[in-house]
Copies of this chain bind each other. A is one copy, B any other.
Amino acid sequence: MKTITGREENYSQWYLDVIAEADLAEHSVVRGCMVIKPYGYAIWEKIVSIVDSMLKEMGVKNAYFPMFIPQSFLEREKKHVKGFSPELAVVTHGGGNKLSEPLVVRPTSETIIYDSFSKWINSYRDLPLIINQWANVVRWEMRPRLFLRTTEFLWQEGHTAHASLQEADQYSLKILNEVYKKFVEEYLSMPVYTGQKSEGEKFAGALRTYCIEALMQDGRSLQAGTSHNLSDNFSKSFNVAFLDEDGLRKNVFQTSWGVSTRLIGGLIMIHSDDKGLVLPPKIAPIQVVIIPIRPNQAILDAIKLIKSDLNGLSVEVDLRDNLNPGEKYYEWEKKGVPLRIEIGPKDLENNKVVMVRRDTGIKSDCAIGNIGQIAQEMMESIQKNLFLRAEEKRNLSNKNASSWSEFEHGIKTGGYVFAHWCGEEDCEADIKKKVKAVSRFLPFEAEEEVGPHTCINCGKEVKEVKRWAFARAY
């Protein structure tokens, strides 16, 4: 019974099979939308809970804004409306009547939130204003993919207002580094690069977009989170201004930033294997599963003790009597539970259990008295191993390209290709047409190579001393 397609055979199908077999989510009858099933939603709840705590620790306050936005609001920021227009869902009728002005379902909430900010902010004393909301958003999706690209998705969107451009810039970087990168690396074991987006790839309406990007197992990059320095682009359109200490009225400088259910897509793709889902312990809804073999009272009693020794971990004991142990192993492997503990009469006789790590598949015996400590150590070890494994894989596939043929070959074989580039939108569109890849980021951490250099594609002179990262992407 092979229910999961191999990664080598068909990566896209493998991804869908992993999701189906782990019972995470399914497509809805509503095109482009998904149903997040309980096990998948439990992962989202852990993400929400941890990210929310990290944000609150930084003084961020949650609020909630309407999901309907008057169409005219979007139009006030020209680049913003241009960027989002093709993706909008539009409500034209409400309460049985045609609306005098259509409402769009929020694709993101800058416009409706900054309308409120314009009323909330009066003086420099009201700054910085730092607000977050957890919400559903809608961006009409022509090629939906569970978790990665769905018409409706769940996310948090942070929105801030500051007295200076510099403060706004620092804050957007702080969120990127101290919340997003930290969360994704520490909890999801997902190594990310941080950097800045190109003019063509930045958020519609932003001065600059910063991002975290992770490499998936098929060599494609995933944008896992973004943080935008909006400058005063929106504050001018929405009249968000403050009376400064010098008595002058000034527009605020703003940031916005978000991570979404897309993170779950990345989590699945970066760690899972041909047996199914692999979850890092810190994000796993179930961290340890205990499976009794030919259970008798003595074994059930031993399991009770073991469970209390695993205090602090989330433990499931699988006592179902309509499945044999092999079927249970198979099922919990597919669900990505980091550690399996097997205990049968022979084990109990020898006062031990068998432990099986999901990440490596390695089996080991463990004395019953040591289970609590060993399981804790394994949690840490698995968490770390998954990170290092993904990091090594990514680093091994990194390439520098100095010629177009190197570049093209690099893109086709997967992973990040670092190259000098002019940064221009037309040139990026041209590259995309040729190799189906765009720039992912200008890395924060990268060697500076004294120039001038020439653009990898158009050959123009390039002043930027760092190489851009290119890759095919999700």
Contacts and interface: CB of A to CB of B under 8 A. Distances in A.
B67 A152 contact: yes
A423 B39 CA distance: 44
Interface stretch (A27-35, A190-198, A428-436): A27-35
Given A70-B29, A86-B95, A90-B94, A62 B41 contact: yes
Contact of A63 (B41, B89, B96, B119): B41
Interface in A101-137: 102-103, 105, 112, 115-116, 119, 125, 131, 135-136
Contacts of A44: 64
A115 B29 contact: yes
A69 B87 CA distance: 18
A66 B152 contact: yes
Nearest to A65: B35
Interface in A303-323: 322
Interface string A57-84: 0000111111111100100000000000
Contacts of A38: 61-63, 131
B30 A66 contact: yes
A42 interface: yes
A95 B140 contact: yes
A27 to B, nearest CB: 10
Given A29-B70, A70-B30, A85-B96, A63 B91 contact: no
Given A35-B66, A38-B131, A70-B29, A95 B88 contact: yes
A36 interface: yes
Contacts of A65: 28, 35-36
A30 B90 contact: no
A92 B95 contact: no
Copies in the complex: 2
A294 interface: no
Contacts of A90: 91-94
Given A38-B61, A92-B93, A96-B86, A67 B112 contact: no
Interface in A10-60: 26, 28-30, 33-38, 41-42, 44-45
Contact of A35 (B63, B93, B135): B63
Contact of A34 (B37, B66, B136): B66
A300 interface: no
Contacts of A102: 93
A142 B95 CA distance: 8
Given A35-B116, A38-B62, A103-B30, A136 B67 contact: yes
A111 to B, nearest CB: 10
Contacts of A33: 66, 68
A354 interface: no
Contacts of A88: 93-96
Contact of A64 (B35, B66, B141): B35
A131 B64 CA distance: 24
A154 interface: yes
Contacts of A85: 96
Nearest to A97: B140
Contacts of A42: 61-62
Contacts of A30: 66, 68-70, 103, 112
Contacts of A91: 89-92, 105
A224 to B, nearest CB: 20
Interface in A143-195: 151-152, 154
A334 to B, nearest CB: 17
Interface of A: 26, 28-30, 33-38, 41-42, 44-45, 61-70, 73, 85-96, 102-103, 105, 112, 115-116, 119, 125, 131, 135-136, 138, 140-142, 151-152, 154, 322
In the complex, the 4 A-B pairs of residues with the closest C-beta atoms, listed nearest first = A95-B140, A33-B66, A38-B61, A36-B64
15 contacts: A28-B65, A29-B112, A30-B66, A30-B68, A30-B112, A35-B66, A41-B61, A41-B62, A68-B152, A88-B95, A90-B93, A91-B91, A95-B142, A96-B140, A105-B105
Given A34-B66, A37-B63, A68-B89, 8 more contacts: A28-B116, A30-B68, A30-B103, A41-B64, A44-B64, A85-B96, A86-B96, A92-B93
